[in-house]
Structure 1
């Protein structure tokens, strides 16, 4: 049975670890050729080797790029098109959550600027060059391939409801990603280019765990999680796969929440049983 991304190609930023790596593995397993982009080339190369081992029928390649630099994002998109002949899926996933990010009184301007450069400007560049590439996609009706494509931007639940622990620059950057994604979705809808944001809840990844570096901070987050646990990167990757595939063909401009119910909850009851992750994720 053909995979949901059969014959398609994808570019994933921040692909060396976490959500990006899990998405690359999943996209390839569903038939996509994948360019794994990361500022850490060694991590991207390790990830690409893992993808190739698990999905030998597809192409997987690594590329180094700092998404805050326009020329490097353009070069990554150009490389994907050169390798695969087209770009069908762009997952603008790379982002930072700086440990010095705090409230309005304590966050330094350099932290604000760095966060915006990666989390917001990097997504802008990724959208810009993906749109240009998708407009030029060759049509192959026999394989169900046409111009257009799917662009997925990683936002966050904090873009919708704010964070319990101060991280002003990160929260502001993710809110801007939502707004930018909605506008671009409207502008390019008639071109067959879909743009959606994915909004993860708190995840058990190094990015968040390094930020929630005390038990107090971790418990402050968990009190708002109906499921009583942090999410796993693979659970976000499965949401990204849905947005990348034709299963979501009538969706654009959405903020797709994969957050364990967090944005639907005020405060969770305490002292009740906490269910573990599904066995397939352990």
Structure 2
């Protein structure tokens, strides 16, 4: 949560030599990733989102945790190619390279069956969730291919945020599900294509996560309670739990892992696989 302190967590130097880029870093999973990377030694963070004031809040939270890495903020849209290209160029200009890229920016969409969905909703959802990840990977990989190996003797590591909707079939959310299945497919295609180049690509598939996107979304209390009841663990996933998985896959402890789609979902995929 945004007001949770990480000052009591163990500190490591695991990411002391890493340049880490995180999209969607203004809140939720992305914000938590930024704080945990800093907590585990990262001294060079490049944080991306649409809202600069909210990115400044993330930077302030890192300082509140008693951590003082070099933090560069970039406000831009991952759905816009010129913005993504400029984002990567700016990160390399400031830090010289990108070791770990966390493509976390995404949007939710109204639950809708295909024949009920509007094209506006479909286009918006896919422009951020699918096109956004594609564009980020396009320019991240191009940069990583030019780099000398660094962490775990690899040129770079990419972790995309998909969703349980990209891991299972949820027939009442076809635009969102389509966008997240695309993230999983892109992850696996690029993992295989670039594994011998020293670039790893993985993704995580969170279940319902208690983030501002959900908690401030105006959802009925009955829906919230039903979602918790249906989950085998009878609770929401915490942003920290997803961030922990991202740090593991992105960092040296995950050096032998590529092409994986890791569910972090309180067991939801066990009952949603149909």
Cα distance in 2 between the residues matched to 1:139 and 1:18: 31
Alignment pair present for 1:129 and 2:139: yes
CA, structure 1 residues 28+223, in 2 after alignment: closer, same or farther (shift >3 Å)? same
2:230 aligned counterpart, secondary structure? coil
Partner of 1:246: 252
Runs of at least 5 residues in structure 1 that lack an aligned partner in the other structure: 268-282
Identify the match of residue 188 of structure 1 among 190, 194, 219.
194
Runs of 4+ more than 6 Å apart: none
1:87 aligned counterpart, secondary structure? coil
Does the 8 A contact of 2:169 with 2:272 survive in 1? no
Identify the match of residue 45 of structure 1 among 56, 59, 64.
56
Partner of 2:242: 236
1:137 is displaced (CA, Å) by 2.1
Alignment pair present for 1:174 and 2:156: no
Name which of structure 1's ranges 75-84 and 49-58 shifts more when overlaid on structure 2.
49-58
Does the 8 A contact of 1:101 with 1:112 survive in 2? no
Partner of 2:8: none
Identify the match of residue 88 of structure 1 among 77, 91, 99.
99
- 1:43-98 C-alpha deviation (Å, 9 max, x unpaired): 11221232244354421121101010011111111121111111001100000013
Does the 8 A contact of 2:229 with 2:235 survive in 1? no
1:138 is displaced (CA, Å) by 3.7
Cα distance in 2 between the residues matched to 1:2 and 1:220: 38
- 1:13-53 C-alpha deviation (Å, 9 max, x unpaired): 00000000000000111122111100111111221232244
Runs of at least 5 residues in structure 2 that lack an aligned partner in the other structure: 1-10
- 1:247-269 C-alpha deviation (Å, 9 max, x unpaired): 011110010111111112369xx
Alignment pair present for 1:29 and 2:39: yes
1:102 aligned counterpart, secondary structure? coil
Map 1:5-84 onto structure 2 (within 5 A). Answer: 5-32=15-42, 33-54=44-65, 56-84=67-95
Give the TM-score of the pair, scaled to structure 1.
Answer: 0.86
Does the 8 A contact of 1:51 with 1:60 survive in 2? no
Q: How many residues align structurally?
A: 262
Does the 8 A contact of 1:156 with 1:174 survive in 2? yes
Cα distance in 1 between the residues matched to 2:65 and 2:168: 38
1:256 aligned counterpart, secondary structure? strand
Does the 8 A contact of 1:204 with 1:231 survive in 2? yes
Name which of structure 1's ranges 167-176 and 184-193 shifts more when overlaid on structure 2.
167-176
Cα distance in 1 between the residues matched to 2:245 and 2:272: 24
1:95 aligned counterpart, secondary structure? coil
Cα distance in 2 between the residues matched to 1:266 and 1:12: 29
Partner of 1:202: 208
Give the TM-score of the pair, scaled to structure 2.
Answer: 0.89
